């Protein structure tokens, strides 16, 4: 099973970069499924129907989330749509953050799922999305204990399991990677927008990378206007989201190859390309 995973897609320039690179990479790498972290799709904060549809139309099959998943509260109705429900994930341990919402059919609850079982050309893939807890002001459920519960209930016929671990601390990501080695196929770190040079296969067969990086403006600070961020540091003040919409975009992703019979990773390769938007 070949999987292409894009890092955090940051705003309009990131969405356009995905539109431009996906046909090229599909032809070159022939992925069976394409996944991307989408919590920054809508101008860096949240997901809307328009922004989600743009990347789905570009060829992305599934979107994972993070701490900004539900920032666009006025657009939460997209999670009540059956089409989008099948393609969107939110962190499984996000529950304490958001009060119950009215979902389709009048039920109360938290929209979306943190775990999806996907059919990939006749093979089953379990896709999981979790938040880290270190350096976040919000409170989340323990990702280590959450993974224990998820794997305890995993059907025995599912061998391929991928986790998008959306976390700030490299130590927390690294620790969870070692903890899960031998139990899942890949631990993919997202959130910091800065790629790490540690893509590897752990001793018991799990692919691991601390952070994939982002898809966004190259000459920026984490995808934001660099001058605005520098000024915020110099003046000790806040800032408004200001994301460049044109210029060079950097595309960060990983290519995974997983043995369908054993669930062990055979390859993890970090991909990076810069294109003009």
Active site residues: 68
Contacts of 216 (CB under 8 A, 6+ apart): 8, 9, 10, 11, 13, 14, 17, 40, 193, 222, 223, 243, 249, 250
User: How many of the other CB atoms lie within 10 Å of CB of 77?
Assistant: 15
Report the distance separating Cα 231 and Cα 13, nearest Å.
22
Helix (H) or strand (E) holding 63: strand 62-64
Contacts of 80 (CB under 8 A, 6+ apart): 103, 104, 111
Could you tell me which of 101, 37, 87 has the C-alpha nearest to residue 65? 37
Report the distance separating Cα 129 and Cα 81, nearest Å.
20
Report the distance separating Cα 251 and Cα 193, nearest Å.
11
Pairing mode, if any, of strands 248-258 and 214-217?
Answer: antiparallel
Could you list the beta-strand ranges (E) of 38-99.
62-64
- How far does Cα 162 stand from its chain's mean position? 11
- How far does Cα 238 stand from its chain's mean position? 26
Q: Are 245 and 223 in contact, with CB atoms under 8 Å apart?
A: no
| Backbone CA torsion sign across 14, 20, 22, 25 | negative
């Amino acid at each position: 099973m070949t999987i292409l995973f894009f890092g955090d897609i940051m705003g309009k320039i990131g969405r356009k970069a995905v539109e431009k690179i996906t046909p090229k990479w599909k032809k070159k790498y022939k992925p069976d499924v394409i996944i991307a972290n989408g919590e920054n799709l809508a101008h860096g904060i949240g997901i809307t129907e328009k922004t989600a549809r743009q990347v789905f139309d570009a060829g992305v099959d599934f979107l994972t989330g993070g701490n900004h998943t539900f920032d666009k509260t006025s657009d939460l109705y997209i999670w009540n749509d059956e089409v989008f429900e099948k393609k969107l994930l939110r962190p499984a341990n996000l529950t304490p953050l958001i009060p119950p919402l009215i979902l389709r059919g009048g039920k109360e609850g938290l929209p979306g799922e943190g775990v999806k079982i996907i059919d990939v050309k006749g093979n089953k893939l379990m896709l999981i999305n979790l938040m880290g807890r270190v350096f976040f002001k919000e409170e989340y459920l323990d990702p280590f204990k959450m993974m224990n519960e998820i794997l305890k209930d995993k059907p025995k016929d599912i061998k391929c399991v991928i986790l998008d671990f959306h976390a700030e601390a490299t130590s927390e990501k690294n620790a969870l990677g070692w903890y899960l080695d031998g139990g899942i196929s890949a631990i993919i770190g997202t959130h910091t927008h800065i790629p790490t040079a540690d893509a590897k296969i752990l001793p018991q067969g799990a692919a691991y990378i601390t952070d994939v990086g982002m898809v966004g403006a190259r000459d920026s600070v984490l995808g934001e206007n660099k001058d605005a961020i520098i000024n915020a540091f110099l003046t000790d003040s806040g800032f408004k989201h200001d994301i460049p919409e044109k210029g060079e975009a950097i595309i960060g992703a990983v290519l995974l190859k997983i043995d369908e019979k054993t669930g062990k990773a055979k390859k993890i390769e970090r991909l990076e390309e810069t294109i003009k938007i």
